[in-house]
Structure 1
Amino acid sequence: MTSLRERKKADTRTRLSVAAVELLISHGVDGATVAAIAERAGVSTRTFHNYFARREDAFLYFVRERVARWAKQVQNAPSDMSALRILHGILKEAYTRPEDDIVALGNLAVLGERIGFVLGPERRPDIEDILGPLYESVRQRVENGTEFRARLTVDLSMAASGAALRKHATRQREGDSSLADLLDEAFEVLAHGVGS
């Protein structure tokens, strides 16, 4: 059982990471300063540094927590549900969130791009490591559960979601496919192949 102090520390860490991500999404890399993050979270910059050495650490903490939740969803799903179907559900749920929700699908895409930019090439392997829990959860569900198949399932799911987002962003007229429909179509292709 966690103590009140531990819960308060966990809450502060979460508030800081959420504030960091909100600023990164809404104000870009330059607007997500340590001072701005601390102010948004209602703490001092000193308190920020008690939890994170750099702002990038707060961004990564948020992403790790989100990936850990997805991994748990994969683990806790009914045993007869395929990993691809579970991932489709997770990403579709992110789509249904309001646009101003930081875990809405479009915001997660922006977040991933901006974190990749902030980290630069020398720290990008950290991003791959973050997906480790999700890869492992999926590996346990994939037929012939090899690490490669698990990574392929996760990576193709993310790519399918990205393709749906990009297509949705270029809608030309009313009546074009909704993001939900595009996401369903993308996962249909993943499940049954491009030739289907």
Structure 2
Amino acid sequence: MNLTERRKAATQLEIARAAAALFAERGSDGTTAEAIAERAGVSLRTFYRYFRTKQDSVAPLLAFGAGSWQDLLAAAPRDLSLPDALEQAAVSALAVRDDGDVESFEWTRGLLRAAAGDPALLAVWASVNQESEQRLVPLLAERAGDADDLRVRLAAAAATTAIRVAVEAWAAGDAPADGAGSPAELAVRCMRELTAGLGR
């Protein structure tokens, strides 16, 4: 990206972080575009330059998380089996390294709880997961060698679903962001269940 594109992406991500924090704190009904813009330190006009609705504004943050997982998968050693590479990338992406990670997970928990009562917010979550699955297909095709297209697409769907279900299950409960019951621990369980047929 050029400098202008990087600045635009940085602004969108800052707005998304502010939106996620507000949805987590106040729920959907208590969050407005005006409040998100104020929290992000931008004008309401700037907010609407980038996003149509308050719900849309969280998409860059959710997509950033999915992109991090895919980057880790792309960098995984080539001698790892596909299931092992998927699992290791998921664990690394969902690991808690500092207080900032804990805060991000709490935003995610609050955001997904808010989405349960907001169809538009739930649609953004579903859309980000669908886009993540589509971006995963060429990554898996490259690693899978001679695997046919159907198998690669099923693997992408299974891996994306494993992460989604793990994060949703964690968000619905009260487990900490790290350790037993964490997103990373649940992702491993889901991944192993859904990729069991891929071989090791």
TM-score by length of 2: 0.68
Structure 1 position 137 matched with structure 2 position 139? yes
Structure 1: 5+ residue runs without aligned partners?
Answer: 172-176
How far residue 121 of structure 1 moved from its aligned partner, in angstroms, is 7.7
How far residue 69 of structure 1 moved from its aligned partner, in angstroms, is 2.3
Distance 1:9 1:153, change over 3 A: closer
How far residue 191 of structure 1 moved from its aligned partner, in angstroms, is 6.5
Equivalent-residue separation in structure 2 for 1:19 and 1:158 (angstroms)? 22
Q: How does 1:102-181 map to 2 (within 5 A)?
A: 102=104, 104=105, 107-108=107-108, 110-112=110-112, 114-115=114-115, 117-119=118-120, 126-131=127-132, 132-142=134-144, 144=147, 145-160=151-166, 165=170, 169=174, 178-179=180-181
Give the counterpart letter for 2:131 in structure 1.
I
Q: Using CA pairs below 8 Å that are at least 6 residues apart, which structure has the higher relative contact order?
A: 2
Q: How does 1:23-172 map to 2 (within 5 A)?
A: 23-93=22-92, 94-97=94-97, 98=99, 100-102=102-104, 104=105, 107-108=107-108, 110-112=110-112, 114-115=114-115, 117-119=118-120, 126-131=127-132, 132-142=134-144, 144=147, 145-160=151-166, 165=170, 169=174
Structure 2 contact 24–110 (Cα < 8 Å) conserved? yes
Moved more, 52-61 or 6-15: 6-15
Deviations 1:25-56 (CA, angstroms, capped at 9, x unpaired)? 23221233111110111111111111112122
Structure 1 contact 17–61 (Cα < 8 Å) conserved? yes
Equivalent-residue separation in structure 2 for 1:192 and 1:126 (angstroms)? 26
Structure 2 contact 158–195 (Cα < 8 Å) conserved? no
Structure 2 contact 115–122 (Cα < 8 Å) conserved? no
Structure 2: 5+ residue runs without aligned partners?
Answer: none
Equivalent-residue separation in structure 1 for 2:126 and 2:168 (angstroms)? 20
Structure 2 contact 70–136 (Cα < 8 Å) conserved? yes
Give the counterpart letter for 1:55 in structure 2.
K
- The structure with the largest alpha-carbon Rg is 1
Q: CA RMSD in A?
A: 3.7
Equivalent-residue separation in structure 1 for 2:135 and 2:22 (angstroms)? 26
How far residue 185 of structure 1 moved from its aligned partner, in angstroms, is 5.6
Distance 1:168 1:27, change over 3 A: closer
Give the counterpart letter for 2:165 in structure 1.
A
Give the counterpart letter for 1:150 in structure 2.
A
Deviations 1:103-130 (CA, angstroms, capped at 9, x unpaired)? x3x6545534544634278777624432
